[in-house]
């Protein structure tokens, strides 16, 4: 079985690279934008085209595998994680970046079996950085091993987060109050790449000590979660409990010390779960 997952991972890497070519090409010519849940929740034909490309190819090679894909769920597919081998796909993580040609756009492919991530592939396609992790085998960027930062003093830390795509004033207030609390710890700085997947790879690379967000989806963070843990990092819920990939809340950090310090300052809220009926 282990070899099967390695085959699947090799296929995911090849698909992510091919998808990245489509994204780079589309960036020059085709960024026609549509909206989903609200006026700032964006989707393009390229998101849909890349997801179809990945799913069709996987179906041919691994006909029994299941899928959770951002655009398939938007089109009405159920979003339920079972024990079956499941590909969790975000064809363009950072769609808003893509629309504005802001240079961080990723293809994210996670693979779960028995509800446990087996591999994660994040291709930051404008930087040409291929991040990979396989359970128990470490995390890599373009083949070079990744290691989280060893800095455990939150006051010496850089933190990544995002404003997300909700403009509900109550949600925005919570996001700002968390941000204010964290800035005033004080931390060295707060950054955001505009893609959850890349933010998590920045944790794995040791460029930021932690990333947190409420409002993300399982496809934004599935692959990145394994990349962070295989680089030596920790994952938890924003209330300090165990990470639940369907809960739309995450803290990914270099250490339990930094994660638990941030959790104290996060003004938590619970968006509707990804697997809500």
Q: Which of residues 162-191 bind ligand IPD (CB under 6 A)?
A: 162, 164-165
Is 244 assigned a catalytic role?
A: no
Is 93 assigned a catalytic role?
A: yes
Is 239 assigned a catalytic role?
A: no
Is 46 assigned a catalytic role?
A: no
Cis bond upstream, residue 186 (ω within 30):
yes
> Counting contacts by CB under 6 A, is residue 195 touching ligand IPD?
yes
Q: What is the DSSP letter of 274?
A: T
Write down the least CB distance from residue 35 to ligand IPD, Å: 11
Give strand pairing partners of 111: 87, 119
> Counting contacts by CB under 6 A, is residue 196 touching ligand IPD?
yes
Contacting ligand IPD (CB under 6 A), which of 44, 95, 124, 254?
95
- Could you tell me the two tokens for 94? 């950072």
Write down the least CB distance from residue 51 to ligand IPD, Å: 11
> Is the Cβ of residue 58 or residue 193 nearer to ligand IPD in the bound state?
193
With H, G, I as helix, E, B as strand and everything else as coil, classify residue 102.
coil
Is 83 assigned a catalytic role?
A: no
Catalytic residue (one of 47, 71, 93, 237): 93
Closest CA to 92 of 121, 50, 53, 34: 50
Write down the least CB distance from residue 95 to ligand IPD, Å: 4
Q: How many angstroms separate the Cα of 109 from the Cα of each of 10, 93, 185, 269, 271?
A: 12, 10, 34, 27, 23
Catalytic residue (one of 47, 51, 71, 90): 90
Segment holding 34, helix H or strand E: strand 33-35
Q: How far apart are CA 135 and CA 229, in angstroms?
A: 9
Catalytic residue (one of 51, 220, 230, 265): 220
Q: Which of residues 202-241 bind ligand IPD (CB under 6 A)?
A: 213, 215-217, 220
CB 115 within 8 A of CB 81: yes
Q: Among all residues, whose Cβ is closest to ligand IPD?
A: 162
Any alpha helices (H) in 156-255, and if so which ranges?
Answer: 169-183, 196-205, 218-230
CB 109 within 8 A of CB 9: no
Any alpha helices (H) in 30-114, and if so which ranges?
Answer: 45-61, 70-74, 95-100
Write down the least CB distance from residue 224 to ligand IPD, Å: 10
- Report the 3 state secondary structure along 235-257: EECCCCCCCCCCCCEEEEECCHH
Stretch of 13-21, 74-82, 91-99, 168-176 contacting ligand IPD, by CB under 6 A = 91-99
> Counting contacts by CB under 6 A, is residue 71 touching ligand IPD?
no
Write down the least CB distance from residue 6 to ligand IPD, Å: 27
> Is the Cβ of residue 97 or residue 255 nearer to ligand IPD in the bound state?
97
Contacting ligand IPD (CB under 6 A), which of 71, 93, 237, 265?
93
Task: Report the interface residues with ligand IPD, using CB under 6 A.
Answer: 70, 90, 93-95, 162, 164-165, 194-196, 213, 215-217, 220
Point out the residues that are catalytic: 70, 90, 92-93, 95, 220
């Amino acid at each position: 079985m282990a070899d099967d997952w390695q085959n699947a991972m090799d296929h995911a890497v090849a698909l992510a690279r091919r998808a990245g070519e489509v994204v780079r090409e589309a960036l020059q010519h085709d960024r026609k934008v549509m909206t989903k849940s609200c006026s700032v929740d964006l989707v393009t034909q390229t998101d849909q085209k890349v997801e179809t490309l990945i799913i069709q190819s996987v179906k041919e090679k691994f006909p029994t595998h299941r899928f959770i894909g951002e655009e398939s769920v938007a089109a009405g597919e159920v979003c339920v994680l079972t024990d079956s081998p499941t590909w969790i796909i975000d064809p363009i993580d950072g769609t808003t970046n893509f629309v504005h040609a802001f240079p961080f756009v990723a293809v994210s492919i996670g693979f779960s079996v028995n509800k446990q991530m087996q591999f994660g592939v994040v291709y930051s396609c404008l930087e040409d950085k291929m991040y990979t992790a396989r359970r128990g085998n470490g995390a890599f960027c373009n083949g070079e091993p990744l290691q989280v930062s060893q800095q455990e003093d939150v006051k010496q830390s850089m933190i990544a987060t995002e404003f997300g795509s909700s403009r509900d004033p109550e949600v925005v207030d919570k996001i700002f109050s968390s941000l204010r609390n964290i800035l005033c710890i004080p931390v060295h700085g707060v950054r955001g790449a505009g893609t959850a997947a890349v933010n998590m790879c920045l944790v794995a690379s040791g460029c930021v000590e932690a990333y947190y967000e409420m409002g993300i989806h399982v496809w934004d963070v599935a692959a990145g979660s394994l990349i962070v843990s295989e680089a030596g990092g920790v994952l938890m819920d924003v209330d300090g409990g165990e990470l639940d990939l369907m809960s739309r809340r995450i803290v990914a950090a270099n250490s339990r010390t930094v994660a638990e310090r941030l959790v104290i300052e996060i003004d938590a809220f619970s968006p509707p779960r990804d697997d809500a009926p």
